[in-house]
Amino acid sequence: MPNDPARESFPRLEISLDQQTLTLWLENQAEPVTYPISSALNGAGELNGSGCTPRGKHYIRAMIGDGQPLNSVFVGRRPTGEILTPELSEQYPQRDWILTRILWLCGCEPGRNRLGQVDSFRRFIYIHGTPESEPMGIPRSHGCIRMRNHDVIALFEQVRAGTSVTIT
């Protein structure tokens, strides 16, 4: 059940692993915007090395890629200068593509998704763009939240560092 938007800060994000959706709540907007996502193939979980998507309260700690072109390739959170093309994708078929924008998440709950072996930030858990060939609505990632590139650009333009993110 979503939280009462009148009692929450704005903007804020709610990610449903069951529904494979990301919902953006904005101030003075009656209806939220909902985007399809793809979370971890390994399901929900917080442990480092699990390949799972961590649950609980998070916030956007860093926003990376402002102004980069659509389908920009990132490695180590830095743009490589490459733009994903079918040829590049074919050249590296096993690569986990991080594209267009990165919203780097930090957990808020010590022992659950922050510090020690369950630290979402140290696990490099992002909301990021992915190739158009990757399906949305089904878990396929290595732990991150994948979005369509146009959707992640739209989201990036409406949130800021510090935005609340709840993953259920």
34, 23 contact by CB (below 8 A) = yes
Mean pLDDT of 83-94: 94
C-alpha 73/C-alpha 80 separation (Å) is 6
User: Considering the chain, what is the average pLDDT of its residues?
Assistant: 95
Contact 107, 113 (CB under 8 A): yes
Check pLDDT > 50 for residue 26.
yes
pLDDT exceeds cutoff 60 at 4: no
Give the percent of the chain with pLDDT over 90: 92
Handedness of CA 52, 58, 59, 62 (dihedral sign): negative
CA–CA gap between residue 115 and residue 136 (Å, rounded): 30
CATH architecture of the domain with range 7-167: Beta Barrel (2.40)
Q: What is the mean pLDDT of residues 133-145?
A: 97
Q: At 2, list the tokens.
A: 């979503």
* CB distance 104 to 62 below 8 Å: yes
pLDDT at 7 over 70: no
Q: What percent of the chain has pLDDT over 70?
A: 95
Residues 114-135: what's their mean pLDDT? 97
Q: What is the pTM of this model?
A: 0.93
Write down the domain spans for the chain: 7-167
pLDDT at 9: 84
* pLDDT computed for residue 8 by the predictor: 65
- For 69, counting Cβ atoms within 10 Å of its Cβ (0-12 exposed, 13-18 middle, 19+ buried), the class is exposed
- Which pLDDT does position 30 carry in this prediction? 87
Tokens of 4: 């009462």
Beta carbons within 10 angstroms of residue 149's beta carbon: 20
> Which of 24-33, 35-44, 158-167 bottoms out in mean pLDDT, i.e. has the lowest?
24-33
The DSSP H or E segment spanning 64 is strand 56-64
**What confidence score (pLDDT) does residue 6 get?**
46
Query: What backbone phi and psi angles, to 5 degrees, belong to 154?
Result: -60, -45
